[in-house]
Amino acid sequence: MLRIHHCDEPIVITGIGMITSVGRTREEVWTAICRGQSGARLATGVPYIPDGLLVAAQVDLDDPVPGQLKVIPLAEHAAAEALADANIAWNEVDYDRFGCAISGHMGDTGHLNVRLEIPDRPDDGVRWWRQWMPNTACSRVANRYGLHGPRLCHSTACASGMIDILGAIRAIQDDQCDIALAGSAEAIHPLFAAGFHNMKVLAYDEDPQRACRPFDATRSGFIMGEGGAMLVIERLSHALDRGARIYAEFVSGKLLADAHHVTGIDMTSEPLVRLITDTLQAGNVAPDEIGYINAHGTGTLQNDVAETRAIRRSMGRAADNLCVSSTKSALGHLVNAAGSVELAITVLAMRDGFVPPTLNLTQPDPECDLDCVPQIGRAVKLDFAMKLSVAFGGHLGAIILRRWNDSQTGFGDAGLRVA
């Protein structure tokens, strides 16, 4: 059958699913974020790491399957909510045109325990060889729903969630599918925790909820987090034909590399400046049209300064009127899932006209001189917003979204918190 190429047709978001330390549904998470709640606590139950040694924002699962990687049910949970939110009529789905892009994760390292003769799980638990590949969660979710469209799975550190969403968008633009489920999930893995600890990038505090302090002069790093977010994205005509409700439109997205160091950031901020500038130009969006940037905002000394410098230089005078915040102080750093969870939060901020706060920002660093929305969120009507990802390995990503203002096919102004 001859198909018309739809590369220039708008791509829209029609479903969101989310689970984090502060809520088990999209709206629970968003409400907690708006209220300034934090999921940070002393971690328990992380293999080989003594309870109370690590500050983290963990998710407690109901009836976990013995031996199963925690990331798998987190991904399945977020996917189920996103698909339900998008109101998919499964009897009308073209499964060959439905894609799935879910980021990679740390595979099961149980084989190491076998070799070292370390007991790791009950004998009747899930075997390591069934979940050792980093695309296990992606395959499990796609197989569960019988999705035969393009299946993508990137492992690009903290930018993984964003890159898989961009990959799904590109698959739709290239006419490989009409609709896709895209996102990522993350659970704390002891090897990651040990590595971050040895790098001295993990934050500690007598009060766990104050440990992560992005853009603050006293910041000392990030805390690890768990959770996931999935988005249903589709071609506009496909969404309208099935009567879907639309959250936002994808305007533009770009990827670049910081060819500097595996973990260090180029403090000249040149790559980030170019990334932001190119993303604005690709979307034909002026700097003063962006009302909010959800920053990567890890709370490390390098990241927060580099991001601030890049935003200042690329946005010009518009930076003075811009809201920038980081939700990692509330949710922790979700690593592979950071991009998708924080993009979902950005979409909800646009829907409700409410910028989420940066918790624990009480002594702003003079070098981080943007309006980082300290402590308390703010009602601001947003038509355009940007999400930034800055990842180990030099992966840089940016996405610009436009709020869907049509009351017939979207939310209109009904959800706005703006007076």
Whole-angstrom distance, CA of residue 232 vs CA of residue 83: 7
Neighbours of 96 (CB within 10 A): 11
- Please give the single-letter amino acid code of residue 188: I
Q: Does 296 qualify as catalytic in the annotation?
A: yes
Structure-token match 């130009």, residue found: 281
Structure tokens given for 93:
């789905």
Q: Does 148 qualify as catalytic in the annotation?
A: no
Residue 299: burial class (beta carbons within 10 Å; 0-12, 13-18, 19+): buried
Contact 161, 71 (CB under 8 A): no
Closest CA to 221 of 50, 360, 123, 407: 360
Where residue 381 falls (left for φ over 0; alpha for ψ -120 to 50; beta otherwise) is: beta
Q: Which of 296, 368, 372, 395 is catalytic?
A: 296
Contact 367, 390 (CB under 8 A): no
Q: Which of 333, 368, 372, 395 is catalytic?
A: 333
**Greatest CA separation found in the chain?**
64
Residue 262: burial class (beta carbons within 10 Å; 0-12, 13-18, 19+): exposed
Structure tokens given for 45:
């139950």
Whole-angstrom distance, CA of residue 246 vs CA of residue 9: 15
Q: Does 138 qualify as catalytic in the annotation?
A: no
Distance of CA 418 to CAs 4, 50, 73, Å?
Answer: 41, 46, 36
Q: Which of 100, 158, 323, 372 is catalytic?
A: 158
Q: Tell me which residues are annotated as active site.
A: 158, 296, 333
